[in-house]
Structure 1
């Protein structure tokens, strides 16, 4: 099985780390996308045939998830026939990118979840380095006052979307504490850097999603560590509200209720077909135009109609089902936290599902891909056949 050889797994591991870290550390978005082609799309294409047994087991053990993803991608492709976008070919290519991105994860996992967790730990450390660089450059080199909202480096330069990437890393890092002392020191320093980035971004949506996720953490971990985190989160939230009351309440609701109401009106105009994938639109609220709906589900409904939104909801619930099946494992607990955080984050922003790999993928397609990596865990259950390279 070629995909299981050391060189192939190294190639795939580099691709995963590039996806996690280079979004902030790559010199430009163009280089980030080119790196994904080289380290992620290309190895997936090259190794798929040797992993056909994995794909067959993926379909057998996760049929609901595979079917809902397939139907969503097919409906998205069909919507290009009535979309008003200028480049339907590019939109179709992006759907292929999503498909190969998801197929990448079963190849990467290769029944070694400790390795997958370690890659996510190193990814979090890399994002912690990017956070420290961002803080130094923005407040030190560029000289902005400390009360200004932080703009990070690379593709985490948006104070809201960048905060979601960094906060997703905080969630998986808190679930995946390393065992080695030297690694724990790097882990702790990275968490401090990530937390400082979130605080300085002043992203209330990311902070609220993190708050709810960490307070709920004892529900699926059920250990002393999660209780300590939950209590510490509540204490930090109270202190933050007291000392940063003006910053928290000064921006009001950022027109989110008005945008949501206008989005529902737009959905009602094309409820079944939507505008079509990639169609340009503006949301008019309080007399101002907004680029998107600031909500993943309403954005999908505007582009793909109610059928598209229901298909994405089916995908998301199937992901929860796959995670729930392995909730007693370390990887299952970490993915449970990431799923809940991502669900909450989608309500406040991240209105992009089928664009090129970007910050939004950390709370949309990344959890779906990691759920598909659980095919190996299902295959090792009693009564399941071992995954083979030939069918």
Structure 2
């Protein structure tokens, strides 16, 4: 019986999980429909991980030694508890944290089994992202009736949401550039292609988040390479705006201050515990005669639904992640995973409220960076041999 379980686990973590993760990271580009993307994740990664965890629980339980996973579980339990006072009381939402947990367990198991294979899997996904970005831009350029802002292909249809996915890979390429000289020309080409696509979306959020990421790299490394990178990225953004004849202030602040103020006003009556998970919100924009159902700030969305108690738990995921990144800043993989975490946190400050959702674009700025950072921290914390980025 023990040998049978071992064979199942080894086959899962050595072959199935890497292929499933690769499909998940690239599925938005080629699957064509968001509902199919959800099913892709459930069928290839979430369900197999759950089954293998039930068959070989000991292989997964020791991941609880990593505080990151404990913080996530505490936050998830509280979020689910808040359903009891939510006006919606949609208990089908109880499965949402399970989807995220399966991602954390799968990536953590892959890192423990073979960190090199996990790195290769994510790197290959970044190569695919660069190729799809190039194809998307070519088709956008050849379209005579193209919209003013690039919207994306496959399951991607919204300029800002598209930047969540491509911005994730842009930052990954940037982090890899400064942590290793291997395949420098390839990584630089990927970074340039992905950055060009971000410009064509016309979204300002990813560019702001990118600049903050550069600042984070300067703080972690503080050497000449990163200072040069900071100058190059800043110049590229300026030239990009100039070349596209795009004024980043033309749309003002897109009503963000008003939205945040009204969301905070609606939060104050239940400040400590919030309205409950999945509670809806209505924000009326009188200038546009338009009703929004989104706080346009992930952290504010967490506080609206789960109160300051949930907000502290949410922020603890990032505080712990950043503090451990500083502690292990000599590791190239920690630098890359932490800069992904920074990008996601900053990008989430101006968009979104669905912090615990089905697999979609928001996962690329929340749970995928957290999962990768969790896996890398387990690697450096247990003293496994390093892997070049």
Both structures adopt the same fold (TM-score exceeding 0.5): yes
Native 8 Å contact 1:94 1:355 kept in 2: yes
Alpha-carbon distance in structure 2 between the residues aligned to 1:81 and 1:142: 52
* Residue 241 of structure 1, CA deviation: 5.0
What is the CA deviation profile of residues 241-300 of structure 1, one whole-angstrom value per residue up to 9, with x for unaligned ones? Answer: 555675312101100111111111011122233222222222224453222011011111
Q: Which residue of 2 aligns with 1:389?
A: none
* Residue 381 of structure 1, CA deviation: 7.2
Cα distance, 1:130–1:327 mapped onto 2, change above 3 Å: same
Native 8 Å contact 1:58 1:372 kept in 2: no
Native 8 Å contact 2:83 2:276 kept in 1: yes
Alpha-carbon distance in structure 2 between the residues aligned to 1:246 and 1:160: 16
Q: Count how many residue pairs are aligned between Structure 1 and Structure 2.
A: 375
My pick for the range that moved more, 344-353 or 245-254, is 245-254
Cα distance, 1:290–1:7 mapped onto 2, change above 3 Å: closer
My pick for the range that moved more, 259-268 or 45-54, is 45-54
Cα distance, 1:68–1:366 mapped onto 2, change above 3 Å: same
Q: Which residue of 1 aligns with 2:371?
A: 369
What is the CA deviation profile of residues 285-325 of structure 1, one whole-angstrom value per residue up to 9, with x for unaligned ones? Answer: 44532220110111111112221111111122122233333
Q: Which residue of 1 aligns with 2:80?
A: 77
* Residue 379 of structure 1, CA deviation: 1.9
Q: Which residue of 2 aligns with 1:113?
A: 115
Q: Which residue of 2 aligns with 1:67?
A: 70
Native 8 Å contact 1:161 1:350 kept in 2: no
Alpha-carbon distance in structure 1 between the residues aligned to 2:275 and 2:382: 41
Alpha-carbon distance in structure 2 between the residues aligned to 1:132 and 1:226: 26
Cα distance, 1:311–1:259 mapped onto 2, change above 3 Å: same
Q: Which residue of 1 aligns with 2:151?
A: 151
Q: Which residue of 1 aligns with 2:135?
A: 133
Alpha-carbon distance in structure 2 between the residues aligned to 1:53 and 1:330: 30
* Residue 100 of structure 1, CA deviation: 1.6
What is the CA deviation profile of residues 213-236 of structure 1, one whole-angstrom value per residue up to 9, with x for unaligned ones? Answer: 124423223444323211201222
Native 8 Å contact 1:274 1:304 kept in 2: yes
Q: Which residue of 2 aligns with 1:161?
A: 161
Native 8 Å contact 1:121 1:176 kept in 2: no
Native 8 Å contact 1:3 1:9 kept in 2: no
Name the TM-score, length of structure 1 as normaliser: 0.87
Alpha-carbon distance in structure 2 between the residues aligned to 1:51 and 1:378: 23
Matched position secondary structure for 1:48: helix
Correspondence 1:20 to 2:22: no
Alpha-carbon distance in structure 2 between the residues aligned to 1:290 and 1:210: 27
Matched position secondary structure for 2:50: helix
* Residue 380 of structure 1, CA deviation: 2.5
Q: What does 1:1-391 align with in structure 2 at a 5 Å threshold?
A: 1-2=6-7, 5-6=10-11, 8-49=13-54, 52-60=57-65, 62-63=66-67, 65-85=68-88, 88-141=90-143, 143-144=145-146, 148-177=148-177, 186-242=186-242, 246-286=246-286, 288-373=290-375, 374-380=377-383
Alpha-carbon distance in structure 2 between the residues aligned to 1:316 and 1:174: 21
Alpha-carbon distance in structure 2 between the residues aligned to 1:217 and 1:169: 16
Native 8 Å contact 2:295 2:353 kept in 1: yes
Matched position secondary structure for 1:160: helix
| Structure 2 segments unaligned to the other structure (5+ residues) | 1-5
Matched position secondary structure for 1:164: helix
Native 8 Å contact 1:15 1:39 kept in 2: yes
* Residue 329 of structure 1, CA deviation: 0.9
Matched position secondary structure for 1:235: helix
Q: Which residue of 2 aligns with 1:386?
A: none
Alpha-carbon distance in structure 2 between the residues aligned to 1:235 and 1:372: 33
Native 8 Å contact 1:215 1:234 kept in 2: no
Native 8 Å contact 1:274 1:302 kept in 2: yes
Alpha-carbon distance in structure 2 between the residues aligned to 1:159 and 1:216: 25
